[in-house]
């Protein structure tokens, strides 16, 4: 597929997704919604990808939703919001929840304005890195709306309820440094993309099956019962233990780097 609103490429088993409507400050229009969903599906089918890095081209990571482009057309709005079952993700939510479902770590590298829809998309990532002076806001209240793009799943994991309510009800703008202190970010960095690459490379030396299992274990168990968490630990560990990549990682730990074996494509998680 030829993307028009994002850049997508794979280098050394790391997938790079860059929002590329720089002239519009990477505001999310209908095409970008559909292209993000498509690229998530593409990544999910590639079992050799070890990590994903999402960033924005130009002076801002993402200034939010392109209101004029999306909501001036009732058909476009309906296309985004429609779902067959209430508990499943619609297209507006898939651009966030889709990253959570990928069996690889997803790292967001952000700078400049990180507003509204841009933050909702980033909340789907496993890690968020931004510049200390980034401008961050859950901005939907400014337009008389509520956050409805799946970011609530991440907010309940990283913020106290009262803090989440304040940010959502006031559309307050905070800096990257403030967001880090609240728990909205994993790290701040003067060069988020470079820091994201370092993290992706650090994770990539480990078995892709253990990384995938760890992500799924924590995502599913963080709010489940203690019994279910313990059950998943046991089941996933057996699956990891039986994988070829466990044997390869064990072999590599016992041999010089010059003798290291390449990992096999990960299992289905």
The pair of structure tokens assigned to 72 is 């001036």
Q: Torsion angle, CA of 230/122/107/180, rounded to 10 degrees?
A: -90
Q: How far is CA 215 from CA 21, 177, 232, 242, in A?
A: 31, 26, 12, 18
The pLDDT confidence band at residue 79, using thresholds 50, 70 and 90, is confident
Residue whose pair of structure tokens reads 């390449």 in the numeric block: 262
3-class state of residue 173 by DSSP:
coil
Instruction: Count the helix, strand and coil residues of the chain and give each as a percent rounded to the nearest 5.
Output: 50, 15, 35
In the prediction, which pLDDT does 223 show?
A: 87
37 has a pLDDT exceeding 80: yes
**In this structure, what are the phi and psi dihedrals at residue 206, rounded to the nearest 5 degrees?**
-100, 165
Spatial separation of the C-alpha atoms in residues 177 and 204, rounded to whole Å = 28
Architecture per CATH, domain 6-203, reads as Alpha-Beta Complex (3.90)
Q: Which CATH architecture has domain 207-259?
A: Orthogonal Bundle (1.10)
Contacts of 198 (CB under 8 A, 6+ apart): none
Q: Are 187 and 195 in contact (CB under 8 A)?
A: yes
Token output for 201:
């490379």
Rounded Cα–Cα distance for residues 108 and 179 (Å):
14
Q: What percent of the chain has pLDDT over 70?
A: 98
For the residues 130-137, what does the mean pLDDT come to?
98
Place of tokens 């909702």: 120
Q: What is the mean pLDDT of residues 184-192?
A: 98
Average pLDDT estimate for 77-94: 83
Spatial distance between the Cα atoms of 174 and 110, rounded to a whole number of angstroms:
14
pLDDT at 71 over 70: no
Mean pLDDT over 70-89 rounds to 77
Portion of the chain with pLDDT greater than 90, in percent: 85
243: which residues sit within 8 A by CB, 6+ positions away?
207, 209, 267
The residues with which 164 forms a beta bridge, in sequence order, are none
- The CA distance from 59 to 100, in Å, is 26
Give the confidence band of 213 by pLDDT, cuts at 50, 70, 90.
very high
| CB 42 within 8 Å of CB 68 | no
Q: Cα(152)–Cα(82) distance, rounded to whole angstroms? A: 18
| Confidence band of 84 (pLDDT split at 50, 70, 90) | confident
Q: How far apart are CA 126 and CA 97, in angstroms?
A: 11
Q: Helix (H, G, I), strand (E, B), or coil: what is residue 86?
A: coil
Identify the sign of the CA torsion 217, 218, 219, 223: positive
In the predicted model, is pLDDT for residue 66 greater than 80?
yes
Arithmetic mean of pLDDT over the chain: 94
Q: What angle do CA 193, 152, 233 make, to 5 degrees?
A: 80
Structure tokens at 48: 């050799």
The pLDDT of residue 50 is above 70: yes
Please report, for the chain, the start and end positions of each structural domain, with discontinuous segments joined by +: 6-203, 207-259
- pLDDT beyond 90 at 239: yes
Q: Counting runs of H as helices and runs of E as strands, what totals does the chain give? A: 12, 9
């Amino acid at each position: 597929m030829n993307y028009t609103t994002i850049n997508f490429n794979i280098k050394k088993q790391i997938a790079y997704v860059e929002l590329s409507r720089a002239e519009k400050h990477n505001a999310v229009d209908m095409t970008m919604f559909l292209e993000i969903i498509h690229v998530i599906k593409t990544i999910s089918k590639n079992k050799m990808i070890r990590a994903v890095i999402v960033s924005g081209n130009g002076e801002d990571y993402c200034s939010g939703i392109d209101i004029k482009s999306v909501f001036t057309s009732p058909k476009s709005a309906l296309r985004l919001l429609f779902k067959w079952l209430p508990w499943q993700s619609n297209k507006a939510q898939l651009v966030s929840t889709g990253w959570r479902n990928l069996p690889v770590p997803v790292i967001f590298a952000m700078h400049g304005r990180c507003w509204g829809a841009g933050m909702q998309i980033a909340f789907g990532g496993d890690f968020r890195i931004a510049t200390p002076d980034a401008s961050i806001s859950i901005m939907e209240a400014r337009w008389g709306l509520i956050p409805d793009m799946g970011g609530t799943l991440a907010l309940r994991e990283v913020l106290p309820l009262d803090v989440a309510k304040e940010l959502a009800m006031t559309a307050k703008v905070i800096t990257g440094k403030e967001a880090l202190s609240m728990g909205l970010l994993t790290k701040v960095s003067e060069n988020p993309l470079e820091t994201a690459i370092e993290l992706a490379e650090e994770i990539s030396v480990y078995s892709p099956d253990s990384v995938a299992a760890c992500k799924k274990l924590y995502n599913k168990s963080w709010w489940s019962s203690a019994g279910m968490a313990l059950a998943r630990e046991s089941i996933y560990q057996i699956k990891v233990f039986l994988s070829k990549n466990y044997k390869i990682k064990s072999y590599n730990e016992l041999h010089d780097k010059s003798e290291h074996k390449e990992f096999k494509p990960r299992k289905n998680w």
